[in-house]
Chain A
């Protein structure tokens, strides 16, 4: 496979193995941050 072809072919992401795992990680971190921020807001409300 040429370098150009390699550029356009999707490879596996590092560590997590599958892209769907990466997306769940990003989404999970978002949810976690919202929960933490909500807890801080409620604590001082």
Chain B
């Protein structure tokens, strides 16, 4: 990295953080600290919601996903606009009417205290662990790419986030997220322009789109009904709606974003902003991934994108020779394929296109076999080395092909994304700890100043837990998957409690509490004693709460 990259990277990050702290310093009470004095306008809310959801993995993984499998992942977001409408009509007015600080306060109002505490605890366990992963996941990739120790990347992200989140609270989170979001989208668009600009002279934007389309990367919609296919129009509309309702309606890290609105109208407009712009934003990120794919049809890609793993293979003399032979064979196939892809880009004849597609497909299959061989060599070198390189595709392209200055900007995009989502998580964890646990149960008669200091301490504590967890996360196997599973175990139950609260008026507190406990046990049974895929735990937990609570209420009559 050049000096210019360092200046752009740290200049961008420090400027955003310093301005955020300067603009939001000096909250005098808990309302100012946790709800931002209800001063946020709709565009701040909208950008803040989008920045919270867009973690570093979004920018590292999503382009790689388009590179490998095409743009079908876009369908996952189709339920989101509908969820925004549902929340705006039914959920937001309830939260505003009750003047809640956290989503779980609603549960006490609608049911009872124990249901509120149950909801808050389920959130704290799940989100507390996830905050560590939000820092760990990009840290491990950035440390591999930059060659820095993992501790450095973890501490840069962690300390910067903790400083401004502790000092400025909700207002600082939203204030910084506005600028982080501008950097994120601006940086990605710059990367998109460069990737097209770096294509051969005879391949313009139109030809690049043709290559992506004709090689199956613009497969945006899949209308088949196939349970094995994770991303189809139907899973996107139904499953995506389910996930978005749960995430935006009951997860405090999102609820806090729109509860800080100046009025119900501003908050509703913020949700509509997200509903209108989220899919185009994801489309842009995926499309850049598809363009990176086109770029690597004309420029030799590595057999495997995680260079650190490759270097480890090459430190083993026997595997080094085997790996280099694979690289050579891969290069030869690439050269044969490149001429055919160029012809495919420029051809206007359907017959010729079909013939070229068949030839390219054959060569791609051979390339895939060589990639599989490379992965098996990596595994044979060290069983613990990760053989999925999707997350490394985009960042490898950035580091190797983009000019000085732009590399710094793109790294700022990834750090900003990691910081924006972590800040929302820490802020939400502190709000829930103080409002739902400490202030409601442990110390009910404290002064405003006392609760303000307690909120800052809670933010600091959760920040330290998240950084600590991220620092030691590498010691555990399959940690990211473990945390995803943990999230799915609790998410369904939480959503079920809220849905009963919003839509089944006759069910009371005792019934929903018992149902939630039983539902949680059912989910745990599925986890420990069956082979059911963990994403289904969300559905099982949610419907179990709804059905059992309704049944208990009927029996009590």
Contacts and interface: CB of A to CB of B under 8 A. Distances in A.
A11 B263 contact: yes
Interface in A1-38: 6-14, 19, 22-23, 25-27, 29-30, 33-34, 37-38
A8 B97 contact: yes
A27 B86 CA distance: 11
A23 B89 contact: yes
A37 B264 contact: no
A19 B447 CA distance: 40
A11 B265 contact: yes
B220 A37 contact: yes
B78 A34 contact: yes
Interface string B210-227: 000110101111110000
A13 B97 CA distance: 18
Interface of B: 38, 74, 78, 81-82, 84-85, 88-89, 93, 96-97, 99, 213-214, 216, 218-223, 233, 262-265, 268-269, 272, 275-276, 279-280, 283
Contact of B220 (A14, A23, A40): A40
A34 B236 CA distance: 11
Contacts of B89: 19, 23
Contacts of B85: 23, 26-27
Contact of B219 (A23, A27, A41): A41
Nearest to A14: B269
Contacts of B263: 6-9, 11
A40 B265 CA distance: 36
Given A7-B38, A29-B276, A40-B218, A13 B78 contact: no
B88 A23 contact: yes
Given A33-B279, A43-B213, A10 B264 contact: yes
B220 A41 contact: yes
Contacts of A25: 272, 276
Nearest to A45: B219
| Interface residues on chain A, size class | 20 to 34
A10 B262 contact: no
A41 to B, nearest CB: 5
Contacts of B223: 38
A19 B268 contact: yes
Contacts of B88: 19, 23
A33 B269 CA distance: 20
Contacts of A43: 213
Nearest to B98: A8
A44 B214 contact: yes
Contacts of A8: 96-97, 99, 263-264
A12 B221 CA distance: 36
Contacts of A44: 213-214, 216, 218-219
Given A11-B263, A26-B84, A27-B85, 8 more contacts: A9-B263, A10-B264, A37-B220, A38-B221, A41-B221, A43-B213, A44-B213, A44-B216
A25 to B, nearest CB: 8
Given A7-B38, A26-B275, A27-B82, A37 B265 contact: no
A19 B280 CA distance: 22
A10 to B, nearest CB: 5
Contact of A26 (B81, B214, B219, B221): B81
A17 B120 CA distance: 38
A45 B223 CA distance: 13
7 contacts: A7-B262, A11-B264, A25-B272, A26-B84, A29-B276, A33-B280, A44-B216
Nearest to B95: A8
B233 A34 contact: yes
Contacts of A30: 78, 81-82, 275, 279
Nearest to A20: B89
Given A7-B38, A11-B263, A13-B269, A29 B81 contact: yes
Contact of A10 (B78, B233, B265): B265
Nearest to B219: A41
Most chain B C-beta atoms within 10 Å of own C-beta, residue among A9, A14, A30, A38: A30
Contact of A41 (B78, B218, B269): B218
A30 B214 CA distance: 25
B272 A22 contact: yes
Contacts of A22: 268, 272
B34 to A, nearest CB: 16
Contacts of B272: 13, 22, 25-26
B456 to A, nearest CB: 25
Contacts of A37: 74, 220-221
A25 B88 CA distance: 14
